[in-house]
């Protein structure tokens, strides 16, 4: 009875959280629709005269442009195809009689396009910004099969465009204390997606960024809506219509006009939506499953688009009970089953790592194999001049691996290389590389790394900002540096080194994410979103490479005493966070022990407990917790 009561309580809690997460949007939509019916304020009166829509030459972007023009807003159309833009502008002007502006911008060009956009947009009374522009590869592909330029386009277009436009336009919205930002993410953001790893990771970034930005801008009267559509019939999904004989997926494609009929109704009413009702049902169903099942489902969809993935939902019908006692018993049993199911999922997600560690230790007792034999002769570590990167270099050198150290400070690298050679008698190589320089760097890295037998790649290099900051407070260069260093380095080095690992059928990739990847983090919005990208990308890549004998480990450290947490160490000595800082050598002692034994770890035992605790609470609570932590880091102690 005690166990049944406990499981029922767990089941009741989980049901309440699930119902909150999935019924919040329809309830807010109903209440705000009634409010709109009473007050009847135009969007232009509520937010501002102009709406800016990126990727508006066709598809969902064109749909948003038509919808907002129909609502009486003047529209700025932004895309790279001038002919299409001019045609759409003419259609809108003739049909709705509103003003239109056309801005030709190819976001794949990176930072070069934003000076023109800033000059054009900042003088306008921008009320609504729709960050819709996005790209993907034409069909599902493994990471190493995607051309390098497409990977850059995914980061520049899917991530850079929305981040920089928010950075440019949010200050004016805050001053006017009105405005709405609509960020179009994707249903792919709710789970790492093998064979669409980079695209899904970029959308995980968008969701994390957008939800955190919503909390940052809420006190200033500026709203942020996150849209996570499923399959909509656009150029991006055209291969499903033209390339597949199986009608199963075609039946799930929603037409743009149908999608906009629903998505448009949610504008200004809810902060999180899937746009179309059927996509909302699919998302709600997916959230009933633990993450590893969602990864499996998305992987199956993209690996075998011809197969029917979605299982028919089981329908549980219950006869009407005559007595209240029997009804209560049935409810208790149902909650107990849900509680048992969710407890099993939670235990799987949180005990899987320690169980794999134990099994790995037992396996090592009977099969002791040096890392250099198991994976390869060389370990490549980025950000290796100090902190966690230097710790990994020392640990792997201690395991008799030769080390390639990559960072931007040559003096520090040479000092670390000398220490490793002297201490462990291994070969070392130094590569001076500033990952903020972007694409030109990787040709030099390929020349240096591809001739080597690289067994382990540790993608550790990362940037953050000194203290908590709102998105618009960040210099645009800092934003680009965060994107190119934290995300592009991981993506492009994996793209470079995965093919030889697959050929040799051995190797290990260690991608260092962060505990902040577990939830959107206001005041650390861009950094946390980049780490959500790394986590999603790593877990999807793991499934892509599993059959080739190549391992991928995702590491999610909490607060470790490095240059990145220097502010906490120097200015918050009396604070709770300072007491939770872990020394690098102590962290690496635990994190190093997990190498080759588990594919997902926080590295340190106390960080694992924090991660486990965060998984017990719904996302909005996690966002609130992280918002509280990082808002305290916005100014020095005592100020």
Residue-level length of the chain: 639
Q: What residue has token string 């130094």? A: 430
Q: Is 469 left (phi over 0), alpha (psi -120 to 50) or beta?
A: beta
DSSP 72-130: T-EEEEEES-HHHHHHHHHHHHHHH---EEEEE--GGGGGGGHHHHHHHHTTS-EEEEE
Counting beta carbons within 10 angstroms of the beta carbon of residue 336, is it exposed (0 to 12), middle (13 to 18) or buried (19 or more)?
buried
Q: Which of 64, 96, 142, 199 is catalytic?
A: 199
**Alpha-carbon gap, residue 56 to 201, rounded angstroms:** 23
Handedness of CA 250, 255, 258, 264 (dihedral sign): positive
**Alpha-carbon gap, residue 193 to 150, rounded angstroms:** 17
What's the distance, Cα to Cα, between the start and end of the chain in Å? 54
Distances in Å between the alpha carbon of 606 and those of 6, 177, 591?
26, 41, 12
Q: How many CB atoms lie within 10 A of CB 436?
A: 19
User: What burial letters (b/e) apply to 468-506, b meaning 16+ CB within 10 Å?
Assistant: bbbbbebeeebbbbbbbbbbbbbbbbbbbbbebbbebeb
**Alpha-carbon gap, residue 181 to 160, rounded angstroms:** 15
Contact 404, 452 (CB under 8 A): yes
Q: What residue has token string 């609509």? A: 182
In this structure, what are the phi and psi dihedrals at residue 325, rounded to the nearest 5 degrees? -60, -45
Handedness of CA 340, 342, 345, 348 (dihedral sign): negative
- Asked if 199 is an active-site residue, the reply is yes
Q: Which residues have C-beta within 8 Å of that of residue 276, sequence separation ≥ 6?
A: 229, 230, 232, 254, 258, 259, 262, 263
Q: Is 197 left (phi over 0), alpha (psi -120 to 50) or beta?
A: alpha
Annotated catalytic sites, by residue?
199
């Amino acid at each position: 009875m005690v166990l049944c009561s406990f499981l029922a309580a767990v089941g009741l809690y989980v049901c309440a959280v699930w119902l909150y997460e999935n019924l919040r949007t329809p309830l807010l939509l109903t209440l705000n629709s009634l409010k709109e019916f009473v007050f009847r304020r135009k969007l232009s009166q509520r937010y501002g005269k102009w709406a800016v829509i990126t990727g508006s030459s066709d598809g969902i972007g064109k749909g948003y442009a038509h919808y907002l023009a129909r609502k009486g807003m003047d529209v700025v159309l932004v895309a790279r195809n001038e002919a299409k833009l001019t045609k759409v502008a003419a259609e809108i002007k003739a049909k709705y009689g509103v003003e239109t502006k056309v801005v030709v911008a190819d976001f794949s060009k990176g930072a070069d396009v934003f000076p023109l956009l800033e000059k054009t947009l900042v003088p306008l009374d921008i009320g609504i910004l729709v960050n819709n522009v996005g790209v993907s590869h034409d069909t599902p592909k493994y990471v190493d099969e995607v051309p390098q330029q497409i990977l850059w386009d995914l980061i520049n277009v899917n991530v850079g465009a929305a981040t920089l436009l928010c950075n440019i336009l949010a200050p004016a919205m805050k001053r006017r204390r009105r405005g709405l930002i609509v960020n179009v993410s994707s249903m792919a953001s709710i789970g790492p997606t093998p064979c669409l790893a980079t695209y899904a990771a970029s959308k995980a970034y968008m969701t994390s960024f957008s939800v955190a930005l919503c909390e940052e801008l809420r006190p200033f009267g500026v709203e942020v809506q996150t849209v996570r559509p499923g399959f909509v019939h656009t150029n991006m999904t055209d291969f499903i219509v033209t390339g597949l004989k199986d009608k199963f997926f075609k039946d799930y494609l929603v037409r743009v006009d149908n999608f906009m009929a629903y998505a448009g109704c949610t504008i200004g009413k809810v902060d999180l939506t899937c746009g179309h009702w059927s996509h909302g049902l699919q998302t709600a169903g997916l959230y009933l499953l633990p993450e590893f099942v969602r990864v499996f489902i998305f992987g199956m969809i993209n690996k075998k688009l011809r197969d029917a993935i979605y299982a028919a939902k089981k329908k549980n019908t219950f006869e009407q009970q005559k007595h209240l006692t029997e009804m209560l018993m049935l409810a208790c049993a149902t909650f107990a089953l849900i509680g048992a199911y969710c407890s099993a999922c939670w235990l799987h997600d949180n005990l899987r790592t320690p169980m794999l560690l134990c099994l790995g230790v037992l396996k090592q007792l009977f099969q002791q194999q040096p890392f250099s034999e198991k994976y390869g002769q060389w370990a490549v570590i980025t950000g290796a001049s100090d902190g966690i990167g230097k710790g990994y270099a020392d640990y792997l050198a201690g395991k008799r691996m030769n080390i390639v150290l990559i960072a931007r400070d040559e003096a520090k690298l040479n000092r670390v290389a000398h220490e490793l050679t002297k201490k462990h008698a291994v070969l070392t190589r130094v590569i001076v590389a500033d990952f903020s320089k972007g694409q030109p760097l990787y040709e030099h890295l390929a020349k240096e790394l591809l001739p080597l037998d690289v067994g382990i790649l540790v993608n550790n290099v990362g940037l953050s900002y000194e203290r908590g900051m709102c998105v618009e407070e960040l210099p645009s260069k800092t934003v680009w540096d965060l994107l190119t260093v934290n995300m592009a380095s991981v993506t492009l080095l994996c793209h470079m080194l995965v093919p030889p690992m697959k050929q040799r059928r051995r190797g290990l990739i260690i991608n260092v994410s962060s505990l902040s990847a577990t939830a959107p983090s206001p005041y650390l919005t861009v950094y946390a979103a980049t780490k959500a990208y790394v986590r999603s990308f790593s877990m999807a890549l793991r499934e892509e490479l599993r059959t080739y004998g190549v391992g991928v480990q995702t590491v999610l450290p909490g607060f470790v005493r490095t240059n990145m947490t220097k502010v906490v160490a120097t200015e918050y000595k009396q604070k709770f966070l300072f007491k939770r800082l872990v020394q690098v050598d102590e962290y690496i002692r635990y994190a190093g022990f997990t190498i080759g034994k588990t594919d997902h770890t926080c590295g340190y035992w106390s960080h694992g407990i924090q991660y486990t605790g965060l998984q017990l609470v719904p996302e909005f609570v996690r966002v609130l917790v992280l918002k509280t932590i990082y808002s305290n880091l916005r100014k020095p102690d005592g100020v």
